[in-house]
Amino acid sequence: MKFVVACDSFKGCMTSKEVGQTIEKGILKANFQHRVKVFSMADGGEGTAQAFCDVINGKMVDVNTLDAYHRKIRAGICLSQEEDIAIIDVASCIGLSMVDKKDRNPMITSSKGVGILIKQALSFGVSKIIIGLGGSSTNDGGMGLLSEFGVRFYDSNRELLRPNTYALGKIAFIDKRAFSIPSNVEFIVACDVKNHLLGQEGATYIFGKQKGIYENQMEEIDSWLRHYRDKLDQTFHVDVNEFEASGAAGGIGAVLLGMFHARMVPGIQLLTEYAHLEDEISKCDIVITGEGQTDRQTVYGKVPYGIAQLAKKYGKPVICLSGALGLGYEELYKEGVIGIFSSADRAMSFQTALKTASAKLEALAFSVVRLIEGVIKYEENK
């Protein structure tokens, strides 16, 4: 049998490539005559740049930037071999997983590091920049990113504001005279959400809790973002809330779509196109996908959902092997997936799960393939 393996990374544990290679080992352990094609995947979140690097055989280059708390760090940019395309993901510099939950302070985080990362990418002379928007720890509406490209924000006392969530509601006027982006560069945002910037389905209410925003703060912060939107509209004559995905990455999507005139494409769609995955799926027998945790959010553009949609076109069975299963994972069955399994075979601590993830995933792949072979053999002998 021919298998196509296309999984997301297991966050904080294994890269997409490592997940795929682990599943491949389990398949071949069950039967070394099977053929396996492994593809790195991502939906725009953590690991997007590395996944693209694997798919296009590019090179990763580390550059200087800042994290969400203005601390100096190094982050990776994927460059195509011709160096005409650069891929970055915001999670590489302002990622949510970079700071322990107890230490998160979303009121002072900034997207300035993303602006620096984009400028670093531009320094390579590329004609296209793909920006993965998932997994950010900020909620500053992209204020920090804009400041890095020359936009200045002032309060009612004409004092220069430091870009962060606190500053959003204090903006009295914006100076865009120094704002400049190259006209010959195409910007593409890769993300798995369509949420707008404001309101009950917006950046603050939907994604704020995981970043450390309390329920009793959300209404006020959303009002600050609304004020920020109004000031941007007065200055740039564009309502950033009108764009789908303007709420992605704490509002970074709003700035990229509104001021950088970026094009929004689902991350999984971009990767499958660059990897020519559809052609391989059309010729395979079984597709295996997976992610760190499969739950009800998966059907909103996550990797397993995207792979299932592609496989459905060709009537190929899809099996999902994930690290854990959360509430609502059964929704994926409605998308043509025939089996959803967790590699966590018993109750264990999170740290134990991380340490044993590779071995347990390999064992799960082995068992699933043996099951498939056993069913086929049984049917043939009936």
What mean pLDDT do residues 87-100 have?
92
Identify the three-state secondary structure at position 121: helix
DSSP 130-178: EEE-TTB---STTHHHHHHTT-EEE-TT-PBPPPSTGGGGG--EEE-TT
CATH 3.40.50.10350 intervals, the chain: 2-40+285-381
Alpha-carbon distances of 17 from 38, 105, 268, rounded to whole Å: 8, 32, 15
Alpha-carbon distances of 100 from 71, 109, 382, rounded to whole Å: 15, 14, 56
Q: How confident is the model at residue 347 (pLDDT cuts 50, 70, 90)?
A: low
Which of 267, 270, 240 has the alpha carbon at shortest distance from 256?
A: 240
Decide if domain 48-267 falls under CATH 2.60.120.10.
Answer: no
CATH 3.90.1510.10 intervals, the chain: 48-267
What mean pLDDT do residues 126-143 have?
95
What mean pLDDT do residues 313-336 have?
94
What mean pLDDT do residues 50-56 have?
91
Does the pLDDT value for residue 257 go beyond 80?
yes
Does the pLDDT value for residue 165 go beyond 80?
yes
pTM for this predicted structure: 0.89
Q: How confident is the model at residue 369 (pLDDT cuts 50, 70, 90)?
A: very high
Q: How confident is the model at residue 348 (pLDDT cuts 50, 70, 90)?
A: low
Does the pLDDT value for residue 49 go beyond 70?
yes
φ/ψ (deg, to 5) at 280: -70, -40
Alpha-carbon distances of 200 from 84, 166, 167, 225, rounded to whole Å: 39, 20, 21, 13
Interstrand relation of 59-66 and 286-289 (parallel, antiparallel or unpaired): unpaired
Does the pLDDT value for residue 238 go beyond 80?
yes
From CA 320, how far away is CA 288, in angstroms rounded? 6
pLDDT at 101: 85
Does the pLDDT value for residue 350 go beyond 70?
no
More confident of the two residues 301 and 370:
370
Identify the architecture of domain 2-40+285-381 in CATH. 3-Layer(aba) Sandwich (3.40)
Question: Where is average pLDDT lowest: 41-45, 65-69, 125-129, 243-247?
Answer: 41-45
Which two three-digit tokens encode residue 276? 């020519």
| Mean pLDDT rounded to a whole number for the chain | 93
CB atoms within 10 A of CB 233: 15
